[in-house]
Structure 1
């Protein structure tokens, strides 16, 4: 009798150990699969969050709040689009804007796409800036202009999204 009880206890222990190792193996597989295959999708969701934050920032800026989302974003990388010289929408067409533009982004995959699409992106920025008047080019309105540029460019991109626009050497005349 005692041998049968010992055998049942030994079999139960073996079953528990086998189940434990199977659960551990499945858990390790799930962890590996998530880290290997879904981490890129997680980056995409972060970029979607950035897009929604930009839209929210535009709403806040239009409603008159002083704090802007773009003032708090520091991009990991920037892409130089060089200098733009653009006629402004003032009457008579005598005023122009001269500015250097840099696009801010975080995705490493985006650099090649930005290089390939530079003429298209430059054209989109020119379209946005040509609608502005000299009065629009001021500290209060620059965040609105940046957000408008971001919203114009991001739908063109497939490998990531830009999260900020940086201007340097702004000159209006």
Structure 2
């Protein structure tokens, strides 16, 4: 009889151990999934900046600096790029004497998105201009560029039906 009791307690110990390992694996997966996918898609600061074009709100959003979006954009390398061309816009500084000249490319992974981007290029360029015109000279520096890129992605992605953008690349940046 004692052997029967020892076998049963050994089986119970294995079940408890397997259950704990399973729960630990689920917890680790949930933690990784949250940090990788959900934490970077927090839209509240960027949506405020998009919906309210006042320069005060935009400056506050830019000065917060979204470190999770920054790390996301630095990790993502798109398969394909789409050339939006050059943009020359007046910046939102006092007096309106400062301007920005920039070349932009959209990054994406789905090849079928190229045709849609070509068809919607005027609307996309208008969306990018809307975002860039709300910036000040102080916003155009490496510290805030990833925030600007995320704003562009979040404004353009709802326009697209055949895929999603995953990055924005700037080739030339000139402010004066």
CA contact (8 A) 2:90 2:97 kept: yes
CA contact (8 A) 1:58 1:147 kept: no
SS in 2 for 1:142: helix
CA contact (8 A) 1:57 1:69 kept: no
* Aligned equivalent of 1:124: 127
Residues 111 and 65 from structure 1, CA distance in 2 versus in 1: closer, same or farther, beyond 3 angstroms? closer
SS in 1 for 2:166: strand
CA contact (8 A) 2:40 2:68 kept: no
Moved beyond 4 Å, runs of 4+? 50-54, 56-59, 63-67
* Alignment partners' CA distance in 2, 1:84 and 1:138: 17
* Alignment partners' CA distance in 2, 1:113 and 1:63: 29
Residues 66 and 109 from structure 1, CA distance in 2 versus in 1: closer, same or farther, beyond 3 angstroms? closer
SS in 1 for 2:161: coil
- Mapping 1:39-118, distance limit 5 Å: 54-56=40-42, 62=65, 68-118=71-121
1:62 to partner: Cα distance: 3.8
* Alignment partners' CA distance in 2, 1:171 and 1:163: 24
State the superposition RMSD in angstroms. Answer: 2.5
Does 2:134 align with 1:148? no
TM-score by length of 2: 0.64
TM-score by length of 1: 0.65
The runs of 5 or more residues in structure 1 that have no matched partner are: 1-49
SS in 2 for 1:121: helix
The runs of 5 or more residues in structure 2 that have no matched partner are: 1-35, 46-63
